[in-house]
Amino acid sequence: MEKSTRFIGYAGCALLVLGLIGWALQLTGGLLAGSGMTNIFLWGLMIAMFAFMVGFGAGAQIVASAIFLTGREELMGLARTASAIGLACVGAAGIAILADLGAIRNILFMLTGLNFNSPLAWDMMAMTAFVILSVVQLVMIARNSSQVKIWATLAGACAVVLQIIEGLLFSLQSVHAWWATPIMPIDFLAVAVVSGSALVLFIACMKGTDSTGLAWLARLCAIAVAVHLVLALADLGLVALEGSPVSDGVLAAIGGQLPLYVAELILPAAGMIILFATMRSPKGTPKMIASALIVVGILAHRLMLLYPAYNAPSLYLTLSGTDSVTGPYPISTGRYLDWDTTFALGTNYMPAPVEWLAALLPIGVAIVGTFVILWAMKKISSTATR
Amino acid sequence: MRFAMAIDLDRCIGCRTCAVICKDFNAQPQGIWWNRVFTSGTPEYDVAVKVDDQLRMEFVPISCQHCTNAPCQTVCPTQATYTDPDTGTVLVDYDRCIGCRMCASACPYGVRQFNWGAPAKMAGLGGTELEYGYPEPYHDGEHLVYAPHRPEGVMEKCTFCAQYTSQGKEPVCCRSCPGNARIFGDMDDPSSPIRAYLKDKEPFFLGEEYHTEPNIYYLAAHKVTQVNQVPASADGKEA
């Protein structure tokens, strides 16, 4: 094993342990009490991390499926790694959801009392289907089976469905103007391709993949970023043109997090420009920098999924006998004991230290999971060739 | 049977008795409020707004709207939130709730309250803790919908005082309102107090744009109880 690969493995183990400590602190210290969330800002860093990881998982699988289907020999080794990353990241996203639950002791009702109308139920079913198809595909790859293309296609299609469902999880909540657009599920898909291709490109550069393969991945990633940015700006345009009190609230919430919003647009845009400019260059360093910029931009995008949604009030009242919309209505924060604030229109969410610590868990699971899956594939492969 | 409540804004004096007694009788932990009353037009309580050179102050009590098309119920993955088929009341089974908070995220009214940590009892004088509220857990069939000591990490909200309505009593907010602004009853019963009260009146609903079909009927304020002309020089707040 290369030195750098070994380092990533050790780092993954360290993140996993730190994340487990964070989660344990949240559970033993009064569930989510050590968080910055409120009854207004209901989902925080862990849900952003969930959306981040599931995007990487589905995206890596979509890239792997595309490589298998187009038969790009120079990238076949990477496709194998990408498939393993896909499974590990989706598993990590599942862990993120579990770690964010307030009453995990009741989790069995997700099996015995599932509400099929709930987008969370669709999500669980899509993730389970993805995991099953992904495992079969990985076994087929390890055995060098002739059916790899079939299973890669099925796993890729499931990854697409998974991302659309993730988008629906948010966009079906009509109460949040920031989410309730038909663009959201399509953008989730675009972001998955952005995330997956940026990650695979980064690994390809590390491994010294030949320039044809790098150019193909760079083009895929740059085009996906372009599509995502168009969709993100269209989303902003829709809100800006609506002119309702609710949409004005969303714009104000975006303004309140302007550095983060600028980062979500500028960083992927810069990465895209670098990729288009250096596409045919055999040098890997600019592409690695571009990939890193894009990944950080996508993390900012996932965080900005939450701020304009939760800090924009949804309920505006009208004075009796007038058409005047008089303003939003305060909500009980549920955090009086911590902050002495009983009612508020919005809360300035900042993840607490224990939340940052717990958020390392899914990253650790994804890294360690990838190593374990690749090791298992090697074992299956060597058994099959005996 | 379909339980519903009418809230007559002409009768509401903004005393917040409903919010406090709701908290008390339902043993809501510190920081949790099922029921809240604010002045329309301002995020602060008890502040007037200027409309047509007049100062106006209108109180709007808000708690769970017990929607017929409840988004919280649709999104709940474990069916912890459900509509009681006997009364049409939207309830939460504490024993089934996984604490995902999707229901609160989907509710347009901001009425769902989450126990972020171990529910804290109300602090009394001299370091004591107060015990208050209906003393026994209440089960709707097999569902635990009220417990004087809340489980950790679950969602809670107004139940129309299920522990009292099951005994034929009205919710405590209705019983305690000094202005009789809240009228409770069965909308399916033509002789019920709420049907009689709403007769020939035109109620409105909160957040109609969300198509939730609430069962809380609001009656707009029409009475002018006091004329407060704003001097032209005053820097009043426009509604």
Question: pLDDT digit string (tens) for A99-133?
Answer: 999 999 999 999 999 999 999 999 999 999 999 99
Section A252-262 average pLDDT? 95
Find the CB nearest A315 among B9, B96, B108. Answer: B108
Q: Does B59 touch chain A (CB under 8 A)?
A: no
Residue of B nearest to A44 (CA): B101
Q: Do B101 and A35 touch (CB under 8 A)?
A: no
* pLDDT recorded at residue A334: 87
Q: Does B151 touch chain A (CB under 8 A)?
A: yes
Give the number of other CB atoms < 10 A from CB of residue B57. Answer: 18
Strand locations in chain B (E): 3-8, 36-39, 49-51, 54-56, 59-62, 81-83, 90-92, 113-114, 122-123, 129-130, 138-140, 143-146, 155-156, 182-186, 216-219
Find the CB nearest B239 among A106, A121, A322. Answer: A322
Query: What integer best gives the mean pLDDT of chain A?
Result: 93
Residue scoring higher pLDDT (A280 or A52): A52
CA angle centred on A371, ends A366 and A372, rounded to 5°: 95
Q: Do B153 and A326 touch (CB under 8 A)?
A: no
Instruction: Sort A285 into a burial class: Cβ within 10 Å, 0-12 / 13-18 / 19+.
Output: exposed
User: How many angstroms separate the CA atoms of A66 and A72, rounded?
Assistant: 9
Find the CB nearest A119 among B75, B80, B107. Answer: B75
Helices and strands, counts by H and E, chain B: 6, 15
Query: How far does the CA of residue B142 sit from the closest CA of chain A (Å)?
Result: 13
% of chain A surpassing 70 pLDDT: 98
**Rg of chain A's alpha carbons, rounded to an integer?**
22
* pLDDT recorded at residue A30: 61
Residue of B nearest to A323 (CA): B239
Query: How far does the CA of residue B208 sit from the closest CA of chain A (Å)?
Result: 10
Section A362-377 average pLDDT? 96
Q: Does B122 touch chain A (CB under 8 A)?
A: no
Residue of A nearest to B49 (CA): A326
Cβ-based contacts of A329 with chain B (< 8 Å): 38, 60, 62, 110
* pLDDT recorded at residue B239: 45
Tens-digit pLDDT profile for chain B (239 aa)?
999 999 999 999 999 999 999 999 999 988 899 999 998 877 778 888 877 777 888 899 999 999 999 999 999 999 999 999 999 999 999 999 999 999 999 999 999 999 887 777 777 888 888 889 999 999 999 999 999 999 989 999 999 999 999 999 999 999 999 999 999 999 999 999 999 999 999 999 999 999 999 999 999 887 776 777 776 665 544 44
Residue of A nearest to B56 (CA): A319
Quickly state the pLDDT bin for A265 (edges 50, 70, 90). Answer: very high
Query: How far does the CA of residue B54 sit from the closest CA of chain A (Å)?
Result: 13
**CB under 8 Å to A31, separation ≥6 — which residues?**
A102, A103, B99, B115, B116, B117, B118, B152, B153
Task: With beta carbons less than 8 A apart as the criterion, state whether B49 and B42 touch.
Answer: yes
* pLDDT recorded at residue A31: 57
* Nearest alpha carbon to residue A213 among A201, A226, A199, A229: A201
Q: Do A35 and B116 touch (CB under 8 A)?
A: yes
Name the one residue in this structure whose structure tokens are 């129309």.
B160
Q: Does A27 touch chain B (CB under 8 A)?
A: no
Q: Does A228 touch chain B (CB under 8 A)?
A: no
User: How many angstroms separate the CA atoms of A247 and A239, rounded?
Assistant: 5
For residue A368, is pLDDT > 90? yes
Instruction: Sort A143 into a burial class: Cβ within 10 Å, 0-12 / 13-18 / 19+.
Output: middle
Cβ-based contacts of A97 with chain B (< 8 Å): 100
* Nearest alpha carbon to residue A224 among A283, A149, A275, A157: A275
CATH number of A7-102+149-315+325-385: 1.20.1630.10
Q: What are the sequence ranges of the domains in chain B?
A: 5-122+132-219
Please give the single-letter amino acid code of residue A170. F
* pLDDT recorded at residue A92: 98
From its phi and psi, is residue A334 left (phi > 0), alpha (psi between -120 and 50) or beta? left
For residue A380, is pLDDT > 50? yes
Q: Does B69 touch chain A (CB under 8 A)?
A: no
* pLDDT recorded at residue A1: 60
ipTM: 0.91
* Paired strand residues for A325: A318
What's the CATH class of domain B5-122+132-219?
alpha beta
Cβ-based contacts of B106 with chain A (< 8 Å): 173, 175
pLDDT digits (tens, 9 = 90+) for A312-355: 988 888 777 777 666 788 899 888 877 778 898 888 899 999 99
Section A293-308 average pLDDT? 96
* pLDDT recorded at residue A106: 97
Query: How far does the CA of residue A47 sit from the closest CA of chain B (Å)?
Result: 10
Q: Does B197 touch chain A (CB under 8 A)?
A: no
User: How many angstroms separate the CA atoms of B26 and B18, rounded?
Assistant: 12
* Nearest alpha carbon to residue B15 among B33, B37, B30, B34: B37
Cβ-based contacts of B32 with chain A (< 8 Å): 332, 334
* pLDDT recorded at residue B75: 97
Q: Do B77 and A115 touch (CB under 8 A)?
A: yes
* pLDDT recorded at residue A205: 93
Q: How many CB pairs under 8 A join A and B?
A: 194
Find the CB nearest A30 among B51, B79, B152. Answer: B152
Query: How far does the CA of residue B90 sit from the closest CA of chain A (Å)?
Result: 16
* pLDDT recorded at residue B234: 59
Task: With beta carbons less than 8 A apart as the criterion, state whether A275 and A222 touch.
Answer: yes
Cβ-based contacts of B105 with chain A (< 8 Å): 42-43, 173, 175-176
Sign of the dihedral through C-alpha A308, A314, A319, A322: positive
Q: Of the given ranges (A172-181, A208-217, A229-238, A370-379), which has the lowest mean pLDDT? A: A208-217
Q: Does A324 touch chain B (CB under 8 A)?
A: yes
Enter the tokens of residue A378.
């090697």
Q: Do A174 and B113 touch (CB under 8 A)?
A: no
Angle (deg, nearest 10), helices A119-142 and A360-385 = 30
Task: With beta carbons less than 8 A apart as the criterion, state whether A241 and A234 touch.
Answer: no
Find the CB nearest B75 among A38, A97, A118. Answer: A118
* pLDDT recorded at residue B233: 65
Query: How far does the CA of residue A94 sit from the closest CA of chain B (Å)?
Result: 13
